[in-house]
Amino acid sequence: MQQGYQTGRFGSRLARNVASSSAHSGWQVFYDHGDPTLDEHVAATKGFYGTDVQNLNRLADIDILVASPDNIAQLLIEIEERPSPPKKLLGDALAILLCNRLALRVHGEQRTFEISSVTRLLIAGVVPDGGHGRRKIDEIISPRLRRLDGFADGVPPKNVLFVFRSTIDEALEELDAIVSDQLGYKAT
């Protein structure tokens, strides 16, 4: 299966669920790993620090962005479809925590979204059952990360949640339940 395929499917389903939720009128969902000529929701989200995105201040690529009508990022989702060591996941989280804005191109036009104290970051994927990887994430990395102060204009570290299981299907099933609960819609 092509790398990013599951992420694209998850993002597409999330975009449909949010669009069909009356409580989320005007909300926007963008996701990477799809064909932008077939779906207007497909766009690569770049996390950066500063006021204008450039290669110098671009810090992270983010798989999925869910934003409210006021262009505030409500949810940022990063999905690791292949088994990942805990230090890579920590690197993903820290790169995103350093960002203060997000940018993407939709129909050739750059759009910018703000990060606020309500922005949540969900990082999901595969960590094999063998070894101490999942325990390291659950018992050491996650609790210590949440105790960091963070930046006033960044994702609060307490708003970071890791969702890792032994298969991508299990991780995405749990991620789907968490996202639908946090956004308050019924997943389809």
Q: Is residue 188 part of a domain?
A: no
- The rounded distance, in Å, linking the Cα atoms of 148 and 93 is 12
Q: For residue 66, tell me if it sits in a domain.
A: yes
Query: Would you give per-residue pLDDT tens digits along the chain (188 residues)?
Result: 577 899 999 999 999 999 998 888 999 999 998 888 788 899 999 999 999 989 999 999 999 999 999 999 999 999 999 988 888 989 999 999 999 999 999 888 999 999 999 999 999 999 877 778 888 999 999 999 999 999 999 999 999 999 999 999 999 999 999 999 998 877 66
pLDDT value at residue 187: 66
pTM attached to this predicted model? 0.94
**162 is a domain residue:** yes
If phi > 0 it is left, if psi is from -120 to 50 it is alpha, else beta; for residue 144 that is alpha
- Of 102, 80, 101, residue with least CA distance to 91: 80
> Does residue 123 belong to any structural domain of this protein?
yes
The predicted pLDDT at position 177 comes to 94
pLDDT value at position 84? 86
Residues 124 and 14: their CA atoms lie apart, in Å, by: 15
* Lookup: tokens for 35: 């064909």
Q: Is residue 134 part of a domain?
A: yes
Work out the angle between the directed axes of helices 168-183 and 5-19 (0-180°, nearest 10).
Answer: 20
pLDDT at 18: 94
CA–CA distance, 48 with 115 (Å, rounded to integer): 11
Domain count, the chain: 1
In the chain, which ranges are E strands?
A: 28-31, 45-48, 58-62, 64-67, 73-80, 101-106, 109-114, 120-126, 160-165
Which structural domain, as residue segments, surrounds residue 115?
Answer: 5-183
